[in-house]
Amino acid sequence: MLSRLSSAGINRSLGIFERSLFKNIARTGINTRTETQRYIQGIEKQKRRMHIQSIPMWEGTSNNYAYLVVDEGSRDAVIVDPASAGEVAPVLKDQIKDGKINLVAIVNTHHHWDHAGGNNKILADPEFKGKPVIGGKDCEGVTKTPKNGEGFTIGEINVKALYTPCHTQDSICWFMEDKSGKAIFTGDTLFHGGCGRFFEGTAEEMHTALNKTLAAVPDDTVVYPGHEYTKANVKFAVSVSQSEAVKALEAFADKNKETQGKFTIGDEKKHNVFMRMDDPEIQKATGKTDAVEVMARLREMKNNFKEPMAKF
């Protein structure tokens, strides 16, 4: 699991450091306006960071997430998968009204209606008219589709498109990085403890997406999936693996309603059975040893999985 300092905690620490440094400047006689300005600029730069706000949608049914990603330095922002316009637009408007964000684009992970289906409704609002839609070629209202590996910037945040076709052929995972950290928005390709169904692709494509493309992302990258499916995913996971990592995920899911952004790619490599094709325990459960065959069988088992009834 990822442990992160809050913005308030960071600011308190910087404040203490700031007062201490000013005392040292006074002692050494370095008190020029230029030096002070440089110092203040340095402090402000340290305070800037990528801020991610989760916006739950259709809670209790499909349990989707939209994500507002903000570069706190420039206040430039994008909204990822704002499918439920009625739930997302008010959040955006409040942030704009308060001067907290400058919305520069809508970003989609894939074309399914519960991820891209709110684009046109949002764009119909005069507040958002003309904003670009960045995503796969089949996404609603799309205006720009980067090539695999291409990207753009949100202030000081670097964004890269990672093609992960399988759930849909236009599935894109969005890797974002600035000086404060790394994040990836995986839509319905990768969930905490699971993966999406192979609606438009094959087991080989999902194996490539998870265990080659996403596995190559730095381990400390925080994962933001498109749905809150962790509890259901881990119930299946414990049926094929009794590893300590899977048990730890089960315990966390039992205690937490929301799990988005709480785990990294490194964590997924440990507790996500769909990213452990070489695990002897999972190979035994599937009766396969070839990675693609393990993936195919594992997905079939998950599709047909029924939670064991409680014993009284």
pLDDT of residue 47: 54
**Are 14 and 47 contacting, i.e. CB atoms less than 8 angstroms apart?**
yes
Token pair for residue 127? 């507040």
Structural domain spans, the chain: 1-35, 48-303
- Do residues 210 and 275 touch, judged by C-beta distance below 8 A? yes
Q: Which residues are catalytic?
A: 110, 112, 114-115, 167, 188, 227
Is CATH 3.60.15.10 correct for 48-303? yes
At how many degrees (to 10) do helices 33-47 and 7-28 cross? 160
- How far is the C-alpha of 22 from the C-alpha of 35, rounded, in Å? 11
- How far apart, in whole angstroms, are the C-alpha atoms of residue 231 and residue 252? 9
How confident is the model at residue 135, as a pLDDT?
99
| pLDDT attached to residue 243 | 98
Q: Look up the pTM and report it.
A: 0.85
**pLDDT at 20 (0 to 100):** 52
Going by C-alpha positions, the residue among 76, 17, 79, 81 that lies closest to residue 50 is: 76
Mean pLDDT, each 10-residue run in order, the chain (312 residues): 40 49 49 53 60 98 98 98 98 98 99 98 97 98 98 98 99 98 99 99 99 99 99 98 98 98 99 99 99 99 82 44
Query: Letter for the amino acid at 271?
Result: H
Q: Which pLDDT value is given to residue 307?
A: 77
Backbone angles phi and psi of 98, in degrees to 5: -80, 0
